[in-house]
Amino acid sequence: MEATALNSLVNPGVRNLAPYVPGKPIEELERELGIRDIVKLASNENAFGPSPQAVDAGKKAMEDVWLYPDASGFRLKQKLAQRLDVRADQITLGNGSNDILVLVAQAFLNASLNAVFSQYCFAVYPIATQMVGATAKIAPAVSADDPLMPLGHDLEAMASRVDENTRIVFVANPNNPTGTSVAMADLLDFVRDLPDHTIVVVDEAYFEYQPEDTPTAIGWLPECPRLLVTRSFSKAFGLAGLRVGYAVSSPAISEILNRARQPFNVGLPGLAAAEVALDDVAHIERTRRENAAQRKLVANELHRLGYSVIPSAANFVLAHFGTHADAVFEYLLRNGIIVRPVANYGLPQYLRISIGTAVQNEKLLAVLGTFEA
Ligand SMILES: *Cc1c(COP(=O)(O)O)cnc(C)c1O
């Protein structure tokens, strides 16, 4: 059957869906350039790597991979519950937090409903919304000239988009691709003021990169029954390849998601590694500390080279290269460095650069210093 005829058979939500654009894989650039030692700063992976103990636990679990994993994720949930001071029945495990975002959309949206999110938000929110045939209501972001939170979430603008058909509001804090974070007091006011028919997802994928005493939206659950907080093992925990994420919510919401999810959505090595990763507190502390130091260095050097950088609370920076963004991206690629173009996010003048190790960042900055427009 030809493609157009086949396309007419596809669910309307999927028909016009543009696929998610991942960062360019290292192997692909290796094949293209025929070189090694490629530096990938394109997918916000933890450049300092995972906890070695977590990797050992994952390897050990490989011996049992002929068995289905524990469908209830009992041990990981117990551990998370203890760590987060919630009950285990408030936790939903996902194949990455991406899985949870899609599950929430499947469980609560349909073609007559809408989801609200900010202009420069995580690409999965519009995909999950469109896929189930729902409407995206996009709130304009804070202005690029704002001194505190350029291009970040404008909570007032978001609140004004919420109507009687809004079932989900997505807020990433810190946000990707901008790296901005909203004040928790403002976010709490926003969440409190949402109508009862609206589920709010606070996406804390980059939570662990913030200073240690940073409050989490998980603390608001007792007073916000329609709140869902999502977290990931892909970013600071450095386990992106294993696909483990989770949501914390009321037991009622968790029970709904539990009905909609695949019974074995998290694999056996992932469950085992995540459990151990949670216990390796020193690994997260080191990651947080080194990322903060390197982020500061990268931002300062980018400024010195004449590029403005949006203040980031995460493990990446969004830097402004004006009309040279494409040329800089290509120049870096030719020199074995992969960063992330964000034109598909509506930000053609910017590049998103993940924070690497000291050696990787040095290479990035050295190559950037030789770029001539
Ligand atoms: C990376 C990311 C996620 C999803 O990561 P998973 O690997 O699916 O856990 C979710 N939200 C934001 C904002 C992200 O940047």
b/e sequence 283-315, b meaning 16+ C-beta within 10 Å: bbeebbebbbebbeebbebbeeeebebbbbbbb
The predicted model scores a pTM of 0.96
**Which atom of ligand 1 is closest in space to residue 122's alpha carbon?**
13
List, in sequence order, every residue forming a beta bridge with 91; answer none if it has no partner: 248
* pLDDT tens digits, 15-48: 888 888 888 899 998 998 888 889 999 999 999 9
For residue 193, the number of C-alpha atoms closer than 13 Å in the C-beta half-sphere is 14
Protein residue closest via CA to atom 2 of ligand 1: 205
Q: Which atom of ligand 1 is nearest to the CA of 174?
A: 13
- The response to whether residue 117 sits with its C-beta less than 6 Å from ligand 1 reads no
Ligand 1 centroid vs 43 CA: distance in angstroms?
10
Q: Is the distance from CB of 54 to CB of 168 less than 8 angstroms?
A: no
Instruction: Select from 92, 98, 180, 206 the residue to mutate for testing ligand 1; criterion: most ligand atoms less than 8 Å from CB.
Output: 98
Residues 350 and 176 sit within 8 Å (Cβ to Cβ):
no
Length reported for the chain:
373
Q: Which atom of ligand 1 is nearest to the CA of 233?
A: 9
Tell me how far apart the alpha carbons of residues 150 and 130 are, in angstroms, rounded to a whole number. 27
pLDDT digits (tens, 9 = 90+) for 77-105: 999 999 999 999 999 999 999 999 999 99
- The sign one gets for the Cα dihedral 240, 241, 244, 247 is positive
- Compute CA distances 44 → 209, 336, 339, whole Å: 11, 17, 10
Residues 6+ positions from 270 with CB-CB distance below 8 Å: 58, 69, 233, 239, 242, 243, 244
pLDDT tens, per residue, the chain with 373 residues: 677 888 889 998 898 888 888 888 999 989 988 888 899 999 999 999 999 999 999 999 999 999 999 999 999 999 999 999 999 999 999 999 999 999 999 999 999 999 999 999 999 999 999 999 999 999 999 999 998 899 999 999 999 999 999 999 999 999 999 999 999 999 999 999 999 999 999 999 999 999 999 999 999 999 999 999 999 999 999 999 999 999 999 999 999 999 999 999 999 999 999 999 999 999 999 999 999 999 999 999 999 999 999 999 999 999 999 999 999 999 999 999 999 999 999 999 999 999 999 999 999 999 999 999 8
